[in-house]
């Protein structure tokens, strides 16, 4: 068996990248890599603290370096932060040895999933639902650059994982 492709999950916060990624990882026997988790370990602080202390631009640079490093290897399931795809270099690196899946959900669904999580630095706003919608609208054109868009709205994480695995097997059949 030759080189295996990475499965890269992107999408807005609260769309299930980590949950689905862990299921895909387990089913395929690929290691699961969470970019945000790696950044937190490397920096010794939470993402929200990095944003506070260094700002979003510096965080995005750290994130890009981590994505570049992680995507050198193959045969992994990689979960990226919701804003990772905003930088063209990240998308290029994700695609180099991987297939990029964007998980989608409505602003209302995302709001329901993240409203009790106070560790989302970009959602520090009096109107979180409006902030989610604004960010999603801004990022839509970037998310649409993914190889595959998966609507998570009425699917369980298990069903989403199955859909990703089926697509992955279809496109890598005989090539991995």
What's the distance, CA 85 to chain centroid? 8
Average pLDDT, integer, range 60-87:
95
What local confidence, expressed as pLDDT, does residue 168 receive? 95
Average pLDDT over residues 88-98: 94
Q: Which residue has the higher pLDDT, 118 or 89?
A: 89
pLDDT interval class at 128 (50, 70, 90): confident
Which domain, by its residues, includes 117? Answer: 6-172
Domain count, the chain: 1
111 within some domain: yes
> pTM for the complete prediction?
0.90
In a domain, 80, yes or no: yes
Query: What CATH number should be reported for the domain holding residue 157?
Result: 3.40.50.300
In a domain, 1, yes or no: no
pLDDT reading at 1 higher than 60:
no
């Amino acid at each position: 068996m030759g080189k295996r492709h990475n499965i890269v999950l992107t999408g807005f916060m609260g769309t299930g990248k980590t949950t689905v990624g862990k299921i895909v990882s387990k089913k395929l026997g690929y290691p699961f890599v969470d970019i945000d988790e790696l950044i937190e370990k490397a920096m010794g602080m939470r993402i929200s603290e990095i944003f506070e202390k260094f700002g979003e631009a510096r965080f995005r640079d750290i994130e890009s370096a981590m994505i570049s490093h992680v995507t050198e290897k193959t045969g992994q399931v990689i979960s990226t932060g919701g804003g990772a795809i905003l930088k063209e270099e990240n998308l290029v690196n994700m695609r180099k040895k991987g297939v990029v899946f964007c998980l989608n959900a409505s602003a209302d669904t995302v709001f329901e999933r993240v409203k009790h999580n106070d560790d989302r630095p970009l959602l520090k706003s009096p109107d979180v639902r409006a902030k989610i919608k604004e960010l999603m609208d801004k990022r839509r054109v970037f998310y649409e650059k993914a190889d595959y868009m998966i609507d998570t709205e009425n699917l369980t994480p298990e069903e989403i994982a199955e859909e990703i695995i089926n697509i992955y097997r279809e496109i890598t059949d005989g090539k991995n």
